[in-house]
Amino acid sequence: MLSAQERAQIAQVWDLIAGHEAQFGAELLLSRPPRSPTCSCRLFTVYPSTKGYFPHLSACQDAAQLLSHGQRMLAAVGAAVQHMDNLRAALSPLADLHALVLRVDPANFPLLIQCFQVVLASHLQDEYTVEMQAAWDKFLTGVAVVLTEKYR
């Protein structure tokens, strides 16, 4: 359950991200510079076991595909921000996809959340306060719970 203050902090941070989804998504999956032929991916570099889910992306041969995936992920986070009160309904199709089709092991979600926190902190710097970090951690954990609860 998010407090009014946490909701405000989540919305405040999203205002800083909105309009830059591709850039934040790129930083999450792909370290700068985005067009480097030997790109390295933050999630894949720090947690190489996650690469198994992205055989088509992890060779980093197609940066454009990574950027587009990062953008889609961030757009989904943005949709979750708009539906903080009703995450389960808002994310239901995405939960089916991750749990039933892709069968992503729930253990991977905290790894992604950690990388996401690093991206927010490194990008927003002093604007990203400890309270915002705590609120985003709670919020992203709620998203991960919904995306993984159909996992069997």
CB of 10 to ligand HNI, least distance (A): 13
CB of 39 to ligand HNI, least distance (A): 16
**Cis, bond preceding 106 (omega within 30 deg of 0):** no
Rg (CA), the chain: 15
The answer to whether 80 touches 95, Cβ cutoff 8 Å, is no
CB of 4 to ligand HNI, least distance (A): 23
Chain positions contacting ligand HNI, by CB under 6 A = 50, 53-54, 69, 72-73, 76-77, 94, 97-98, 102, 104, 108-109, 112, 140, 143-144, 147
CA gap 151, 145 in Å, rounded: 10
- As a whole number of angstroms, the longest Cα–Cα distance in the chain is 45
CB of 128 to ligand HNI, least distance (A): 18
Measuring CA to CA, which residue among 34, 47, 52, 148 is closest to residue 98? 148
Sign of the C-alpha dihedral, residues 73, 48, 39, 114? Answer: positive
CB of 145 to ligand HNI, least distance (A): 10
| Those residues with Cβ within 8 angstroms of residue 62's Cβ, 6 or more apart along the chain or in another chain | none
Residue placing its CB nearer to ligand HNI in the complex, 4 or 46: 46
